Structure 1
């Protein structure tokens, strides 16, 4: 399966992807699905392999989006994306070898589910992880993905908004997903597994800008 990366600047005038000072992951997801073919049936994001990440820099917000097929970049709205660039990731992923050192970056929704020892209010609900707990979460996920981190730097990023939903009182609310970015250097332990993980993503909230694992030479 092929893999393609598209990178662009989020247009400064695109206000529809912001809400209350936070990025609206649901709105960005809807825009990015224009990159995928039509008529994908059920679970179109998974079938197109759409994963994405927002990165803030001195020029504003850069969006990186990954798909398992060539993206239809001409479908992106002019008031959403500028300076669009794309490249194929397949050669790099196919070249992964056991023992190779790589740089990695991922913005992830590091969470745990409260167990039976939690209060009734929290029992069974998800909690965002921070600091050492978040880094341990990433080390476990990376190891399961065929990557052995030699170092890790975690950075808490602003929450990102998900799709609107209704609570038990039938009131509409929007879920906020916690985001932590993990950067570092690691050693490839299982190239095939790591390749598959890059295509599939890691963790929760993949629709809303979490889970895209980027690799590069160390």
Structure 2
């Protein structure tokens, strides 16, 4: 995805609509609906999206695109087309990208699919063994399932993504929400997992095997250490399963002076 013309959209979803229930239940269906909002060769660009359903009565869909989208179909089929308010806000990303600098701090949110690649899984599933035999691959991609594993995955990669998470100014996080082996809590950081999900869905209705993803939503504070690397991840996404609602890192001003 280029940074010349990048847009961040926020679409209000009405969970009571019939079409909305389909989209909310299947990342594959939501991916298709998102792709319909890009008029020109959507397969030629990286499209990132994330569904924030902290309030199940007011889910919000965020989408990052390299060209200006049109979300009329989502508003008509899955939103509140006759209600007041801004149904689909579309903002140019350039002003935010221009603010990026080493040392600059932001609040952030990211839903990711933390995984590990290993050639010796301790308990490979039948599906993993079958796929390995079909593709003759010697390694397995296995999703991290515990909060401890997922947070360790995140914190061990931030430097290569162009940022760091500062040490926390508060008490250590709750049990299970810190990296380490659980024996001696390490230095707490300004990040927490606010949601964890196991998503299972089918890409086709002909009996194909389901896709299973273990996702975690991270929130916290970050400090930029490498503008080029950070920009690349901001517009290109983080981790696997980007087509299915993972990888979109969004920023916000910090809530107060630091």
TM-score interval, normalised by the smaller of the two chains: 0.7 to 0.9
**Counterpart residue number, 1:26:** 28
Counterparts of 2:233 and 2:141 in 1: how far apart (Å)?
A: 26
Unmatched runs of 5 consecutive residues or more in structure 1: none
Instruction: State the TM-score, normalizing by the size of structure 1.
Output: 0.84
Q: For residues 3-47 of structure 1, what are the alpha-carbon distances to aligned partners after superposition, in whole Å with 9 as ceiling and x for unaligned?
A: 21111111224434546x96200101100112212345xxx1xx3
Counterparts of 2:231 and 2:124 in 1: how far apart (Å)?
A: 41
Counterparts of 1:204 and 1:61 in 2: how far apart (Å)?
A: 23
Deviation at 1:86, TM superposition (A): 1.3
Contact 2:202-2:208 within 8 A present in 1 as well: no
Instruction: State the TM-score, normalizing by the size of structure 2.
Output: 0.72
**Counterpart residue number, 1:190:** 226
Quickly say closer, same or farther: Cα 1:160–1:9, change in 2 above 3 A.
Answer: farther
**Counterpart residue number, 1:96:** 100
Contact 2:15-2:58 within 8 A present in 1 as well: yes
Structure 2 SS opposite 1:202: coil
**Counterpart residue number, 1:48:** 45
Structure 2 SS opposite 1:178: strand
Quickly say closer, same or farther: Cα 1:163–1:89, change in 2 above 3 A.
Answer: farther
Structure 2 SS opposite 1:185: strand
Quick one: which of 192, 198, 204 aligns to 1:159?
198
Counterparts of 1:199 and 1:208 in 2: how far apart (Å)?
A: 16
Counterparts of 2:51 and 2:216 in 1: how far apart (Å)?
A: 12
Quick one: which of 73, 96, 111 aligns to 1:107?
111
Contact 1:17-1:24 within 8 A present in 2 as well: no
Moved over 6 A (4+): none
Counterparts of 2:62 and 2:165 in 1: how far apart (Å)?
A: 23
Deviation at 1:79, TM superposition (A): 1.4
Unmatched runs of 5 consecutive residues or more in structure 2: 81-86, 130-139, 167-189
Q: For residues 112-161 of structure 1, what are the alpha-carbon distances to aligned partners after superposition, in whole Å with 9 as ceiling and x for unaligned?
A: 23432624656725133322211111112322110101211013333334
1:174 is the counterpart of 2:190: no
**Counterpart residue number, 2:10:** 7
Alignment RMSD (CA, Å): 2.5
